[in-house]
């Protein structure tokens, strides 16, 4: 690979080159004619003055013509120009040398640091692990985030979806999970940005660098301004890098994809450019096939596991949209983010009644955890039903039992918020990782009305439940007249 001052130029071996000519250029879609042998599907073609324009073959139109999608901008291409194929597919570097670096879909570093050390490269198109190599043991993946570990336990080697519209906290939650995975579990994190804004990639890179987490993390971006072909393939490229650590290094990998909807959207653009008949709402007819080809590679094997958490943008917050429906079918857990909770300042803004996990059964998480989770859901559900009465008639019209339910629910809602490391610089509150045991103990004590005399705000943005008692004691020391008034009223 040769680098000049402006761009990266790929230099290919002269042997086994197959030359053809471009016969059509329609945006990102290129038709090419080959006299001798026809390139295979997924083969990479190169054209342009320095062979800097990469095109992936997607279909063979006849015995002499192929149609491909460009992975780079096509400015400067015209009919009759020479195009070459070397019989290879798109490859990306793998191995420990990729840790701490940021890549594009071609495996080129984009972090302005020294060039990557030469080493092994692998095709981005790989078969999923066969069934006989997959692990059949179900294990819980602890995130250190109370709300998720208690109510929506994630599966090690499974896929969890993070559903929500714009601005409800998907990226912040993903960033926090990276922090906890690298900091607590000492695993490898792979962040794949599909259709991300360059601002978000830049912020994430510097956040991870400042937190000292970059050494065990890899980032790959197919930015929003790149052609749909690049955004469509960046997920496969990131998975190839993650599979190396699972299969060769025998490590657990946390793969975060932000945003899987952009992958579907890129596929929709590619499908339209290739002239395929659109399906419902304009989606590609091959939506399920393309999504499955990516998702089936994320698996728990005998040697290691790739646990994936995927942000899923939901168009217009409509969970019946085909993109959301097809994504649901691959997931073992769904975390639905609520705009209403976000507006109330309850972060992470998870809608506990819409979110669910297939791991939340007594046989997997244990009887005590299961019963507690059911109690919490029941309490929050009853509170949801009582909200209309409270808004119209006030708390005074509720029965004593219903008031207790409301008090428990409001304290649970606030206890299930948590200060994040990812937002320290904005909130000024130090982030915390909470163990599952401490989280369960706190919820159990709230449900037993142990803290019914403490104000609701004492439970907001704390880690362990003991912090609520400490906060109230400190408040009483600072405001003794308020404590006296409270005791008088009681």
The pLDDT value given to residue 371: 97
Task: Report the percentage of the chain scoring pLDDT > 90.
Answer: 60
User: Out of 56, 196, 243, 290, which one is annotated catalytic?
Assistant: 196
Residues 223-245 pLDDT 10s: 999 999 999 999 999 999 999 99
Lowest mean pLDDT among 122-136, 293-307, 315-329, 469-483: 469-483
The model's confidence at residue 480, banded by pLDDT at 50, 70 and 90, is low
Residue 403 · residue 395 · CB < 8 Å: yes
Contacts of 416 (CB under 8 A, 6+ apart): 146, 147, 150, 151, 346, 350, 352
Q: Is 341 a catalytic residue?
A: no
CA distance 157 to 154: 9
Lowest mean pLDDT among 285-289, 311-315, 323-327, 374-378: 311-315
* Number of Cβ atoms within 10 Å of the Cβ of 121: 15
The pLDDT value given to residue 290: 93
Strand ranges in 246-366 using DSSP code E only, listed in sequence order? 253-258, 306-313, 333-336, 356-357
Sheet strand arrangement including 159-164: 102-103, 217-223, 188-196, 253-258, 306-313, 159-164, 333-336, 356-357
Q: Is the pLDDT of residue 192 over 90?
A: yes
The pLDDT value given to residue 476: 64
The pLDDT value given to residue 10: 47
Residue 161 · residue 310 · CB < 8 Å: yes
Q: Is the pLDDT of residue 331 over 70?
A: yes
What is the average pLDDT across 8-16? 48
| H helix or E strand, kind and range, residue 477 | helix 466-478
The pLDDT value given to residue 472: 72
The pLDDT value given to residue 36: 85
Residues 82-114 pLDDT 10s: 999 998 999 999 999 999 999 999 999 999 999
Contacts of 369 (CB under 8 A, 6+ apart): 150, 153, 436, 440
- Of 257, 255, 169, the residue nearest 217 (C-alpha): 255
Name, of 179-183, 296-300, 394-398, the range with top average pLDDT.
296-300
Residue 204 · residue 218 · CB < 8 Å: no
The pLDDT value given to residue 477: 65
The DSSP annotation for 33-84 comes to E-SS-PPPTTEEEEESTTS-EEEEEEEE-SSSEEEEEESS--TT--TT-EEE
Q: Is the pLDDT of residue 3 over 60?
A: no
Residue 54 · residue 85 · CB < 8 Å: no
Q: Is 170 a catalytic residue?
A: yes
H-assigned helices in 97-169? 146-151
Q: At 15, is the secondary structure helix, strand, or coil? A: coil
For 112, counting Cβ atoms within 10 Å of its Cβ (0-12 exposed, 13-18 middle, 19+ buried), the class is exposed
CA distance 340 to 187: 34
- Of 303, 229, 240, the residue nearest 266 (C-alpha): 229
CA distance 161 to 334: 5
Q: Is the pLDDT of residue 351 over 50?
A: yes
**Cα 22 to Cα 47, 75, 127, distances in angstroms:** 9, 14, 31
CA distance 427 to 118: 42
The pLDDT value given to residue 487: 43
The pLDDT value given to residue 332: 92
**Secondary structure in 3-state letters for 414-445:** HHCCCCCHHHHHHHCCCCCCCCHHHHHHHHHH
Q: Is the pLDDT of residue 482 over 60?
A: no
What is the average pLDDT across 368-386? 95
The pLDDT value given to residue 8: 44
User: Out of 3, 79, 97, 197, which one is annotated catalytic?
Assistant: 197
The pLDDT value given to residue 372: 96
Q: DSSP letter at 181?
A: I
Residues 29-50 pLDDT 10s: 999 999 989 999 999 999 998 8
Backbone angles phi and psi of 484, in degrees to 5: -65, -40
User: Out of 101, 159, 170, 246, which one is annotated catalytic?
Assistant: 170
Residues 403-453 pLDDT 10s: 999 999 999 999 999 999 888 878 888 889 999 999 999 999 999 999 888
H-assigned helices in 337-435? 339-343, 362-365, 367-393, 400-415, 424-427
- Of 406, 264, 388, the residue nearest 323 (C-alpha): 264
CA distance 239 to 291: 13
Q: Which residue has the higher pLDDT, 390 or 20?
A: 20
Quick one: how many helices (H) and strands (E) in the chain?
15, 20
The pLDDT value given to residue 31: 96
CA distance 130 to 186: 27
Q: Is the pLDDT of residue 191 over 50?
A: yes
Mean pLDDT of the chain: 88
Q: Is the pLDDT of residue 51 over 80?
A: yes
Contacts of 364 (CB under 8 A, 6+ apart): 138, 140, 153
The pLDDT value given to residue 210: 79
The pLDDT value given to residue 99: 94
Q: Is the pLDDT of residue 21 over 90?
A: yes
What is the average pLDDT across 332-360? 92
Q: Is 197 a catalytic residue?
A: yes
The pLDDT value given to residue 216: 86
Task: Report the percentage of the chain scoring pLDDT > 70.
Answer: 93
Q: Which residue has the higher pLDDT, 293 or 472?
A: 293
Residues 267-314 pLDDT 10s: 999 999 998 898 888 899 999 999 999 999 999 998 889 999 998 888
CA 309, distance to chain mean position in Å, is 4
């Amino acid at each position: 690979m040769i680098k000049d001052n402006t761009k990266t130029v790929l230099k290919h071996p002269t042997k086994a080159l197959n030359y053809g000519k471009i016969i059509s250029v329609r945006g990102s879609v290129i038709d090419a004619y080959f006299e001798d042998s026809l390139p295979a599907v997924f083969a990479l073609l190169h054209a342009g003055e320095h062979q800097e324009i990469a095109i992936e073959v997607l279909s063979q139109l006849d015995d002499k013509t192929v149609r491909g999608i460009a992975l780079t901008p096509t400015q400067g291409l015209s009919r009759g120009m020479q195009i070459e194929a070397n019989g290879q597919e798109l490859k990306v570097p793998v191995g420990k040398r990729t840790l701490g670096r940021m890549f594009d879909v071609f495996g080129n570093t984009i972090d302005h640091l020294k060039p990557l050390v030469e080493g092994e490269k692998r095709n981005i198109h790989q078969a999923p692990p066969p069934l006989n190599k997959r692990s059949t043991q179900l294990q819980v993946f602890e995130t250190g985030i109370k709300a998720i570990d208690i109510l929506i336990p994630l599966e090690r080697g499974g896929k969890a979806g993070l559903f929500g519209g714009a601005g409800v906290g998907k990226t912040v939650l993903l960033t926090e999970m990276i922090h906890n995975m690298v900091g607590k579990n000492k695993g490898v994190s792979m962040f794949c940005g599909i259709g991300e804004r360059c601002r978000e990639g830049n912020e994430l890179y510097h956040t991870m660098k400042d937190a000292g987490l970059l050494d065990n993390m890899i980032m790959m971006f197919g930015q929003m301004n790149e052609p749909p072909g690049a955004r469509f393939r960046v997920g496969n490229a990131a998975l190839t890098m993650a599979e190396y650590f699972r299969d060769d290094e025998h490590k657990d990998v946390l793969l975060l994809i932000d945003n899987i909807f952009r992958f579907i959207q890129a596929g929709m653009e590619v499908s339209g450019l290739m002239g395929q008949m659109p399906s419902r709402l304009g989606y590609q007819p091959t939506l399920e096939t393309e999504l499955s080809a990516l998702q089936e590679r994320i698996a728990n094997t005998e040697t290691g596991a790739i646990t994936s958490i995927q942000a899923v943008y939901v168009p217009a917050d409509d969970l019946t949209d085909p993109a959301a429906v097809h994504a649901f079918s691959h997931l073992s857990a769904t975390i639905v983010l609520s705009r209403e909770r976000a507006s109330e300042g309850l972060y992470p803004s998870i809608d506990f009644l819409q979110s669910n996990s297939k791991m939340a059964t007594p046989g997997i998480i244990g009887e005590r955890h299961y019963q507690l989770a059911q109690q919490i859901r029941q309490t929050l559900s009853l509170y949801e039903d009582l909200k209309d009465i409270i808004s119209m008639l006030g708390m005074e019209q509720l029965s004593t039992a219903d008031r207790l339910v409301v008090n428990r629910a409001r304290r649970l809602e606030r206890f299930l918020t948590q200060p994040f490391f990812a937002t320290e610089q904005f909130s000024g509150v130090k982030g915390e990782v909470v163990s599952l045991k401490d989280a369960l103990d706190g919820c159990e004590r709230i449900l037993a009305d142990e803290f019914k005399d403490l104000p609701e705000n004492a439970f907001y943005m704390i880690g362990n439940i003991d912090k609520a008692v400490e906060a109230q004691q400190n408040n009483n020391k600072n405001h003794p007249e308020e404590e006296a008034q409270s005791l008088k009223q009681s």
